[in-house]
Structure 1
Amino acid sequence: MRVVHVVTLVSDDGAYGGPTSVAAGQLEECAARGHEVSLVSLWRGRSAAPARLGSVPLRTRPARSVLPGRFTGLMHPLLVRDMWVAMGRADVVHVHAGRDLVSVAALAVAALRRKRFVAQTHGMVQPRRAAAVRLFDRLYVPLLRRARGCLVLTEQERRDVAEVVGAGGPPLMTLPNGVRPERADGAGEGGRRDREVLFLARLHPRKRPDAFVEMAALVHRRMPDARFTLYGADEGVLPAVRRLIAAHGLQGIVSYGGALEHAQAVRAYRRAAVYVLPSVDEPFGMTVIEALSAGTPVVCTDTCGIADELARREAAVVTDGSPAELADAVCGLLADDARRAALAEAGRRAVAEAFSVHAVTDRLEAIYRGL
């Protein structure tokens, strides 16, 4: 099959997060199975766009802000032409569709090209009452209804998308995110650091990096040798994070390392003793399964979309998200090597059985063939 995916943004700092890494992972696995694949997207970075994302051919245009919003208003007029050309030869079109101009353009081109296409919303399409969103949805929702299927992560997302698209919408099909399982031999450059606690996500209010710093302050009182590192593109919270570090006197204890490319992120997971995601209402938690795949014990909150599944498998420590409970979980893991090892093994097993890109692409191929 000739498969074309469209995602809003590829960048050198991973700012668009899960949808980009999911698209790349799905396409890499499709290519490994003999399909002809390509990814169409905007590009933002300090250098020219790469020709490939991993093994996936990449067709990009520089991202330009034509409307307000961090991602909503990004566009380049020539990207529409690129979509038109790429989709012309495609057997299947797959749009990673948020509420943004790139997604609207991709859905419209697929419909005009009379292509059979699926949409995947990644938890980004939720009921909203703001006037600007209702106006945007007058164009967006009719196009989304043209999809032959809409891929959702969780039952909550199924309910959200069903409410947005209303009657006459496409079939809603559950498809989890998947990662390529990491090898279990070794812990990356320099080995695993027994006292390093990691935050790796966008510095966005929903991800709660400030709660990570508050947690770090509590852990430091009990375990002064623990160290804490935050990585991720800043989305407005970095000044508050730095103020909290100073207020708690954690200079040299808590550090910010900026945004990481994927290979660097994998090494960061593999070095850390514990990965903490304090995020609330996380639709899925792509970084959680990336950490699990790297063999790193995970602490998350009970509003993470896969928290129940991980708790059932005893593959992560699930908390209420408060700094105190996060700190208790981290201290418990840092003090117990055997428990960390058991949690890491259960996490790898969960990835292999439920969240591997191999299992996900089996399902995705069946959906494509059904089109």
Structure 2
Amino acid sequence: MRLLHVVTLVSDDGAYGGPTSVATGQLEECAARGHEVTLLSLWRGRSPAPERVGSVPLRTRPARSLLPGRFTGLMHPLLVRDLWRAMGSADVVHIHAGRDLVSLAALAVAALRRKNFLAQTHGMVEPRRRAVVRLFDRLYVPLLRRARGCLVLTERERRAVAEVIGPDGPPLLKLPNGVRPERADGATSSRRAPEVLFLARLHPRKRPDAFVEMAALVHRKMPDARFSLYGADEGALPRVRHLIAAHGLQGVVTYGGALQHSDAVRAYARAAVYVLPSTDEPFGMTLIEAMSAGTPVLCTQSCGIAEELASRGAAVVTDGSPRAMADAVCDLLADEHKRAALVKAGHRAVEEVFSIHTVADRLEGIYRNTCSPNSSPIGSSISSSIT
């Protein structure tokens, strides 16, 4: 099959986060299975856009800010022409759709082209009451309803999308994100420095400030521990630096900027614990990446996959307060056997649920149903098979 994925932004700092890495991972696995794949996106970076992301062919236009908003208003006029041409030869169009101009354009072109397309919302489509969102949704929601299916990560996201698109929308199909299972090359917990890792956008919802507050508490009990933050700054870095100075943590807590994927994998692998303090995290892709790298993980109760991970013994789940996170981190750093048990359970969770191989199996089934010439809209048979 000829598969076209559309995502809003690819950048050298990974600013768009999960949707981009998920699209790339899905396409790499589909390409390995013999499908012809293309990723179409805007590009933002200090250098020209690459021709490929990993093994995935990439077609881009430079990102331009046409409207206010971090990603909402990004666009390039010629991207519409690119979408029209690329969709013409595609068997399946897969749109990683947020509330932004690129997603709106992709949905509109797919509808005008009368293409069978899927939408995947990545937790980005939730009920909103602001007037500007309601105005945008007058165009966006009718187009989203024309998808053959809408892929959602969790039951919570399914409810949110259902509220937005109403009863006339497409089937909502649960599909987790997936990573390629990895094994650290002979790494053992005894070799690891006592490093605690934060790797996410420095956005208030990700709560890097709570990570620093947690670090201050851990440092009092375990002064040898070190704490690293990585990720593109999205407004929270000044607060992070203020807290580091206020707690006297210079040299204890460091910020290393955004990382390329290969560098991020190495950061996961050398950390003793990975902490994601986010509230209302739709999924938690970095948790899966850290587990795949063989690192114990800690998240909050409001993370979309917290219940699944906790039931498997694959993560420590707290209420997200700095004190609770600090107590959990101290417990993990002091107990090598507990860390090893988390690593083992994390690998098992990745292999059984969050492996890209498992996700691609499910996705291929949806694609076959979608691109069949006589297919009707995706129904309950596929929905029930992947929930």
Q: Distance in 2 between matches of 1:10 and 1:195?
A: 33
* TM-score for both structures, normalised by structure 1: 0.98
Alignment of 1:158-197 (within 5 A): 158-187=158-187, 193-197=192-196
Q: Distance in 2 between matches of 1:192 and 1:123?
A: 37
Q: Distance in 2 between matches of 1:184 and 1:354?
A: 19
Q: Distance in 1 between matches of 2:122 and 2:260?
A: 21
Alignment of 1:13-28 (within 5 A): 13-28=13-28
Instruction: Return 5+ residue gaps in structure 1 as ranges.
Output: none
Q: Report the equivalent of 1:11.
A: 11
Q: Distance in 2 between matches of 1:94 and 1:204?
A: 28
Q: Distance in 1 between matches of 2:342 and 2:214?
A: 21
Structure 1 position 141 matched with structure 2 position 149 = no
1:247-281 per-position Cα deviation (integer Å, ceiling 9, x unaligned):
00000000000000100000000010000000000
Q: Distance in 1 between matches of 2:152 and 2:64?
A: 29
CA contact (8 A) 1:206 1:280 kept: yes
Amino acid at match of 2:16: Y
Instruction: Return 5+ residue gaps in structure 2 as ranges.
Output: 371-387
CA contact (8 A) 2:300 2:318 kept: yes
1:66-120 per-position Cα deviation (integer Å, ceiling 9, x unaligned):
0000000000011111111111100000000000000000001111111100000
Per the TM alignment, residue 167 of structure 1 is displaced from its structure 2 partner at its CA by 2.1
Amino acid at match of 1:65: S
Amino acid at match of 2:165: V
Alignment of 1:116-155 (within 5 A): 116-155=116-155
Q: Distance in 1 between matches of 2:306 and 2:193?
A: 25
Per the TM alignment, residue 52 of structure 1 is displaced from its structure 2 partner at its CA by 0.2
- In structure 2, the CA distance between the partners of 1:170 and 1:192, relative to structure 1 (3 Å rule), is farther
Please list every run of at least 4 consecutive aligned residues from structure 1 whose deviation after the TM superposition is greater than 6 angstroms.
none
Per the TM alignment, residue 362 of structure 1 is displaced from its structure 2 partner at its CA by 0.3
Is the partner of 2:87 in helix, strand or coil? helix
Q: Report the equivalent of 1:229.
A: 228
Q: Distance in 2 between matches of 1:337 and 1:326?
A: 18
1:106-149 per-position Cα deviation (integer Å, ceiling 9, x unaligned):
00111111110000000000000000000000000000001000
Is the partner of 2:233 in helix, strand or coil? coil
1:278-329 per-position Cα deviation (integer Å, ceiling 9, x unaligned):
0000000000000000000001001000000100000000000000000001
Per the TM alignment, residue 192 of structure 1 is displaced from its structure 2 partner at its CA by 5.2
Structure 1 position 256 matched with structure 2 position 255 = yes
1:47-78 per-position Cα deviation (integer Å, ceiling 9, x unaligned):
01000000000000110000000000000011
Is the partner of 1:13 in helix, strand or coil? coil
CA contact (8 A) 2:184 2:269 kept: no
Is the partner of 1:108 in helix, strand or coil? helix
Q: Distance in 2 between matches of 1:184 and 1:130?
A: 46
- In structure 2, the CA distance between the partners of 1:342 and 1:4, relative to structure 1 (3 Å rule), is same
Equivalent pairs counted in the alignment come to 369
CA contact (8 A) 1:192 1:273 kept: no
Q: Report the equivalent of 1:35.
A: 35
Is the partner of 1:139 in helix, strand or coil? helix
Is the partner of 1:233 in helix, strand or coil? coil
Q: Distance in 2 between matches of 1:278 and 1:187?
A: 25
Q: Distance in 1 between matches of 2:38 and 2:228?
A: 35
Q: Distance in 2 between matches of 1:149 and 1:38?
A: 20
CA contact (8 A) 1:194 1:334 kept: no
Is the partner of 1:134 in helix, strand or coil? helix
Q: Distance in 2 between matches of 1:111 and 1:178?
A: 28
Structure 1 position 327 matched with structure 2 position 340 = no
CA contact (8 A) 1:120 1:152 kept: yes
Q: Report the equivalent of 2:353.
A: 354
Q: Report the equivalent of 1:314.
A: 313
Is the partner of 1:57 in helix, strand or coil? strand
Q: Distance in 2 between matches of 1:201 and 1:186?
A: 26
Amino acid at match of 1:214: E
1:212-259 per-position Cα deviation (integer Å, ceiling 9, x unaligned):
000000000000000000000000000000000000000000000000
Is the partner of 1:95 in helix, strand or coil? strand
CA contact (8 A) 1:192 1:270 kept: no
Per the TM alignment, residue 338 of structure 1 is displaced from its structure 2 partner at its CA by 1.1
